[in-house]
Amino acid sequence: MTSENKAFKALSDPTRREILGLLRKGERTAGDLAERFDMTKPSMSHHFSVLKDADLITSRREGQTIWYGLNTTVVQDIMAWVMDLVRGEEKKERPASPKGGTK
């Protein structure tokens, strides 16, 4: 699976999108993130795993604590790809403007 496909798979889930939204404000511990959701620890772990596999988040361990952060480089790359896609669609839909204009 390509990195773009992994990213879109990760973004297809509302819980994962909410996790990314929380990480926009800065790093958070796995426990802090898990407190915000009504789901089991294995379910949260799965969401973290999908996001990490898509390279949308980073993780680091401090003792027993895992800290997660937003991988802004990859998120920016995805946003640029989406914007290029949108611009390409706009170009297809708009008629070409005449060159030189009229006097």
Q: What percent of the chain has pLDDT over 90?
A: 56
Q: Is the pLDDT of residue 49 over 60?
A: yes
Question: What CATH number has the domain bearing residue 72?
Answer: 1.10.10.10
Query: How many domains does the structure of the chain reveal?
Result: 1
What Rg, from alpha-carbon coordinates, does the chain have? 19
* pTM, 2 dp: 0.74
User: Over the chain, what is the mean pLDDT?
Assistant: 85
Residue 101, domain member (yes or no): no
Tell me the β-bridge partners of 60.
Answer: 67
**Structure tokens given for 41:** 């620890």
- Residue 12 domain boundaries: 3-93
Tell me the C-alpha distance between 25 and 53, whole Å: 21
* DSSP state at residue 55: T
13 domain-assigned:
yes
pLDDT digits (tens, 9 = 90+) for 57-77: 999 999 999 999 999 887 778
Show the DSSP H helices in the chain as ranges.
Answer: 3-11, 14-23, 30-35, 41-53, 72-93
Supply the pLDDT for residue 79.
79
Q: State residue 88's pLDDT score.
A: 77
